[in-house]
Structure 1
Amino acid sequence: MPESKSLTTLDRRQRILLAAVCGLEFAESLVLTIVIPLLPITAKEKGVSNFEVGILFGVAWLAAALSGVVHGKLLSRITPISLAIAGCVITAIATVGIGLAGQFSRDLVEFLPSVIVLRILQGCGYSAIAVSAQAILSAEMPEHKLGVQAAYQGSVALGFTLSPPIAGGLYAANGFWLPFIVMSVILLIILIIVAIPLRHLKGQVVQHKSGQYFPLLLQPRAILTVAHSLVIAFVFRFFEGFIPVHMHEQV
């Protein structure tokens, strides 16, 4: 196996491209994680059990794992940037929908089914972006695999880290719907920005063998996250009385 080159050897075009892909992943991670501090509070108001909340967390990652196979095969027919744009738009619409469902649904019957569907759409959108990003990085920087993967994972981790406190602050400012609207707008703004350096990829099609490979990078993480969410859901089910709701009590 050839040795992976340092990121310092990337040319200017590759650096801009890496920054664009990492920016898109950062924005997508922000959007996908905003439910963590908010969903348990609002779900309890609607009569959703903590077990069902755990299912709502996990269903997005299950959708990401399953849809990753489809997205990989699509890369033999469409360009990565086209798939990424579609993923961003779907994710933004689903995220706004979750915010509106939490704000305006009146009970469990209205809230739970709609949020399950919207979380599935979020997971599918995330998968489309992740698969596209991996395809672009592999095609454009094949000799810098370790470095670009470190940058990619770092951008995802940064989004996951910053999203909950930002979402909590926006929730405290103006209710459940605001974080979802703001994060969706941020995602679309970053998409517009990064589409500029990615526009030169238009017309390029990733080979089908790549389309079969990249979803495999996504599925283990997604499946483990689903398992983790289910475990948490079962734990919550047995310790219902110990779930902290102090944020709600302070409002």
Structure 2
Amino acid sequence: MPPSGDTPILSDVEEGHAMNNNMGGTLLTGVIETSDRLTHFCRPGERSVRSPADPLGPQQRQLFCRTHSVSTKCVLKPCHDSHVCQSQDEEVAPIKTKRLKLSDCSRQQVFVLLVLALGNFLSFCSMSILAPFFPKEAHVKGMDLSVSGFVFSFYALVVSITAPVLGKMLPRVGAKPMYIWGLILAACSNFLFGLLPQIADYSWFTFMAFFVRGLEALGASAFSTSSFVFVVETFPDNISTILGVMETVIGLGMSVGPAIGGVLYSIGGFGLPFYILGVIMFAVVPLDIWILPVASAEAKKSTTASLWKLVKIPAVFVVCLIIIISSNVWSFLDPVLEPHLETFSLTSREVGFVFLLFSSVYAVFSLFWGWLADRINNHWSMMAVGLAVSTGSLLVLGPSRFITNGPNALWVDLVALCVLGISVALTLMPTYQAILNFALENGHRRQVATYSMVAGTWSCMYSLGEMIGPTVGGIVLEAYGFPVLTTGMAYSTFLMMLISLLFFSCRNACSNKRDEEEYTLKRPLLENGCIYYGGTDNDKCVLTVGYGSPTEYTST
């Protein structure tokens, strides 16, 4: 019973609107659910404490609180040896992370990580394996450089269109079936792409190049989108670190792909690289069926989320622009770097090793930046610094006419490419975690539908940049040359850096000012307020808010 026997227990606090304002001896009593999305009464910004039974457990959770009809935010966190609230002004906490140690991972987690890494490696290996030789082979068939560039970008176009749709479907279809069927489709597409040189007619060759590339992209979109959900469900406390591992594997696929493609092309011609990849992908399918977990009960019950609702959040919209620009400046090199390196008289195999060099740097630093993003909350500053460094490396790579009118030495291009890989990794690593945090702050629930929609949004924006980059790269290279192309890309990263700095600086300043005003407004109403927990009953806990210095706490 509550300290005052005539104080009713309120049953409609699920929406956070119920309260009891008996101002004579003011007591507010409500019920809180011990679930992932909770509502209870608290003083502005204070940390609530646990009852002796600790009904809510040790995990910190995000809450939306409502007291005296004034909305505020607080964090529910257990504290020891006390039943009195500690007043502390703070925001809804972002997703907390803890240091990931391989020894702390279960066998299931390790196996899931391995199969996801292998799948993403094969996907991006098949995406990049044609970079050293396809422009030359396509030119023999009569295809212009701009058209062959669009073959590269068509892959990303299909992913950008299908990723949000697949993310919407994922809670109904299930992450595991979508992952496996996507991998099978990508494997079949590799076999078909290897048969393209058998087509003599230019029109049919062009059509089938786009068609098969689109099928491969659809399969890759399916299993890459679902892999995000496996990451979030299997490693909820280390999302950025595991995504850093995934990006490292992706970078390895992007880097090893051209090198493998160049070597296998020199050994067995156009088809051999794709046949080998197709066989390996088919061999991986039984492992995925055996190892990957099925969707949890919560995942099957989760509601669908809206891409448009997510992108309408201003902070998410800015992060999406950053993803597009970053993937754009990373992918524009696919169709244009090989023609540019021909000025240094490099063979297809040597061009493949150049791709291997700067993509490996991207892969290694993706792991480090992902680890760092898990340990700091200021993700937007990482993005801004990455965009600034990308601007400088692109100006040197051209080289821009602002720097010199002559061509670069080969070593200068290699250094600029490596620095570009470091900076793009720095920009991209915090973006998924940032979108997820902003989504949760704006009312999205912690459920598979949210995770899959964030994954679909991220894949869509990244692929949109991958579509723009090769298309623009091929057109501008033919019309104006490589230095003008890289200078234009540098302009885009510099402009995006300014936009992100301005937006997030203003956002933080306005947020701090609003918090101070709200705290000043609400605190006089809640002086000397205390919160007490009672015992648990059917997974519920009775909560009493009192004024003055009550000495009892609620029990059930």
Whether these two folds match at TM > 0.5 is yes
1:92, 1:188 within 8 Å by CA — same for their partners in 2? yes
CA distance in 1, matches of 2:218, 2:191: 15
Contact 2:145 2:478 in 1 (8 A): yes
Match of 1:232 in 2: 473
Structure-1 separation of matches of 2:212 and 2:271: 14
Distance, in Å, in 1 between the alignment partners of 2:460 and 2:295 is 27
> Aligned with 1:23: secondary structure?
helix
Find the partner of 1:64 among 119, 142, 159: 159
Map of 1:137 onto structure 2: 231
Query: Cα deviations across residues 94-144 of structure 1 (Å, max 9, x unaligned)?
Result: 22111101x201031120011111111111111111111001111121111
Question: Which structure shows the bigger proportion of residues in strand conformation?
Answer: 2
Take 1:33 and 1:169, find their aligned partners in 2: how far apart are those partners? Answer: 13
- TM superposition shift of 1:236: 3.7
Matched residue SS, 2:171: coil
**Cross-structure match for 2:337:** none
- 2:453 equivalent among 197, 206, 212: 212
After TM superposition, the structure 1 = structure 2 runs for residues 1-251 of structure 1, keeping only pairs within 5 Å, are: 1-8=94-101, 9-101=104-196, 103-198=197-292, 200-201=293-294, 205=299, 207=302, 208=304, 209-210=449-450, 211-238=452-479
Which residue identity does 2:458 align to in structure 1?
L
Q: How many residues align?
A: 238
What is aligned with 1:243?
Answer: none
User: In structure 2, do the counterparts of structure 1 residues 2 and 67 end up closer, same or farther at CA, with 3 Å as the change threshold?
Assistant: closer
Measured after TM superposition, the shift of residue 42 of structure 1 is 1.2
Q: In 1, Cα distance between the equivalents of 2:267 and 2:207?
A: 27
Shift of 1:38: 2.3
Deviations 1:160-186 (A, max 9, x none): 110111011111111111111111111
Amino acid at match of 1:218: S
Please give the per-residue CA displacement for 1:186-215, whole angstroms capped at 9, x wherever unaligned: 1222233333211x4267645332332220
Specify the alignment match of 2:51 in structure 1: none
- For 1:52 and 1:234, the matched residues in 2 are separated by 9
Give the Cα separation in 1 of the matches to 2:145 and 2:480: 9
- 1:128 partner letter: A
Structure 2 unmatched runs, 5+: 1-93, 305-448, 482-556
Instruction: State whether residues 79 and 203 of structure 1, in contact with CA within 8 Å, keep that contact through their aligned partners in structure 2.
Output: no
Would you say the 8 A contact 1:23–1:194 is kept in 2?
A: no
Q: Who is 2:29 aligned against?
A: none
Shift of 1:155: 0.9
Evaluate the alpha carbon distance shift between residue 61 and residue 19 of structure 1 in structure 2; reply closer, same or farther with a 3 A threshold: same
Q: What amino acid sits opposite 2:464 in the alignment? A: I
Q: TM-score, normalised by structure 1?
A: 0.88
Q: Distance in 2 between matches of 1:187 and 1:178?
A: 14
Look up the SS of the partner of 2:172 in the other structure. coil
Distance 1:47 1:156 in 2: 32
What is the alpha-carbon root mean square deviation over aligned residues?
Answer: 1.8
Residues 5 and 147, structure 1, Cα contact 8 Å, conserved in 2: no
Q: Deviations over 1:222-247 (max 9, x none)?
A: 1111111112111343379xxxxxxx
What is the CA–CA distance in structure 2 between the aligned matches of 1:175 and 1:82, rounded to whole Å?
34
Any idea what SS the aligned residue of 1:76 has? helix
Q: Which has the higher contact order (CA 8 A, sep 6+)?
A: 1
Contact 2:121-2:250 at 8 Å conserved across structures = yes
Does the 8 A contact of 1:171 with 1:179 survive in 2? Answer: yes
> Structure 1 202/143 Cα, relative in aligned 2: closer, same or farther at 3 Å?
closer
Return the alpha-carbon distance in structure 2 between the equivalents of residues 197 and 170 of structure 1. 31
